[in-house]
Amino acid sequence: MTTQTSPDSRLASALRFTTELIAWIATPWALAPHSIPLAVASVVVLIGLPTIFQTPGDKPRVIVAVPGVVTILLVLLQLVAAVVAAWFAWPMVVAVVVSVLAVGCVVTEQPRWRWLLRASGAD
C-alpha cells in the first residue's frame, strides 16, 4: 500500500459529509414508522462502519485497515441510503435536491476513488 494521503478536495469532502449527514437523518426517519430497532441499527451501520473500517492514508487514524475498494463501497452505501431514504421520507423536491447532491458527490469523489483503488493495489 502507498503511504501518500488521498487527494480529497474541500468540495468533495463537504459534499460527502453533507450526503452522509443526510443519510444519518433520512434513513432512520424513513425506517422509524416501520421499525424503531431497524432505524437505530441503520444509524449504527451508517456511522459505525466507516468509523471502524478505513483505508490507510485516507484518514489520519485507522482503526481497522481495509482496501480502498471497501472505503468506496462504504461511501456508495451512504449515498444510496441518503437518496433512497430521502425519496421515502421527504417531499419530492427535497428528494430531488438530495439526488442531485449525491450525483455531485460521485463526480467530485473521482480523484479520491482513483487514489483509493491505487492504494489497494487494484491498478
Asked if the structure places residue 4 within a domain, the reply is: no
Cα–Cα dist 1/9, whole Å: 21
Asked if the structure places residue 47 within a domain, the reply is: yes
Asked if the structure places residue 5 within a domain, the reply is: no
Residue 5 pLDDT level (bands cut at 50, 70, 90)? confident
Asked if the structure places residue 2 within a domain, the reply is: no
Asked if the structure places residue 65 within a domain, the reply is: yes
Q: Is it the case that residue 122 has pLDDT exceeding 90?
A: no
Answer with the residue of higher pLDDT: 60 or 6.
60
Asked if the structure places residue 44 within a domain, the reply is: yes
Specify whether the CB–CB gap between 47 and 40 falls below 8 A.
no
Asked if the structure places residue 107 within a domain, the reply is: yes
Q: Taking phi first (over 0 means left), then psi (-120 to 50 degrees means alpha), and beta for anything else, what does residue 54 get?
A: beta
Cα-atom radius of gyration of the chain, to the nearest Å? 15
Asked if the structure places residue 115 within a domain, the reply is: yes
**Owning domain of residue 28:** 10-119
Total domains, the chain: 1
